[in-house]
Chain A
Amino acid sequence: MSFAELQNYIRQDFATLTDSDAGVDALTARLMVNNAQHAFDQSAQTLCNWSDTSLANATYSVTTTPTIIFLCGPFPARLRPDIGFYLYRMRAHIARTGADPVEFRFSVGPINVLQNHLRQTGTLASVFSTSVNTASTTTVTPASSIRQAFYTSVPTSYGPITTKDDAGNIVGASAPLMYVGVSARSTVGTQTARLAGLYVAEYVGTP
Chain B
Amino acid sequence: MTIIVDTKPARIDPNNVASNIAVRSQTWGDTAQVLNMARGFGAVLIAPHFVGEVVPTQTSNTYRYRATPTLADSILVWIVNCYSAAPSVQFTPTYSTAVQIGVPGTFGQLPVYILDSVTAQPLIDTQYTLTITTGSGSTCTVQSIALVEMPRTALASTEGGVDTNTLRIGDPVYDIAGASYTAIGASVGGVMGVARRVGQQHWFRVVPFTSTSTTLVDTFTVNRPVLNRRITSTAATRTVTVRVYADSLVSPGEIEVSGVKAASTVTIAIPVAAAAWSAANQILVDTEEAGTVNGLRGGTFDTIRVRCRTTVAGGTVRMYGVSIWESENDG
Contacts and interface: CB of A to CB of B under 8 A. Distances in A.
A99 interface: no
Nearest to B20: A26
Contacts of B19: 26
B188 A39 contact: yes
B150 interface: yes
A97 interface: no
A36 B34 contact: yes
A75 B38 contact: no
Interface residues of B, number: 104
B180 A79 contact: no
Interface string A66-96: 0111111101101111110001010101000
B119 A14 contact: no
Contacts of B20: 26
Contacts of A131: none
Contacts of B21: 26
Interface stretch (B128-136, B259-267, B289-297): B289-297
B52 A55 contact: yes
Contact of A56 (B53, B157, B191, B301): B53
A203 interface: yes
A60 interface: yes
Contacts of B155: 166
Contact of B150 (A51, A139, A163, A198): A163
A203 B229 CA distance: 9
B121 interface: no
A191 B156 CA distance: 54
Contact of B331 (A9, A166, A168, A173): A9
15 contacts: A8-B230, A14-B186, A20-B182, A33-B27, A40-B35, A43-B195, A50-B201, A68-B109, A71-B108, A73-B111, A87-B293, A158-B7, A162-B75, A163-B150, A166-B156
List 8 tightest A-B contacts by C-beta distance, closest first.
Answer: A81-B11, A166-B154, A1-B290, A17-B185, A8-B233, A68-B108, A42-B229, A20-B180
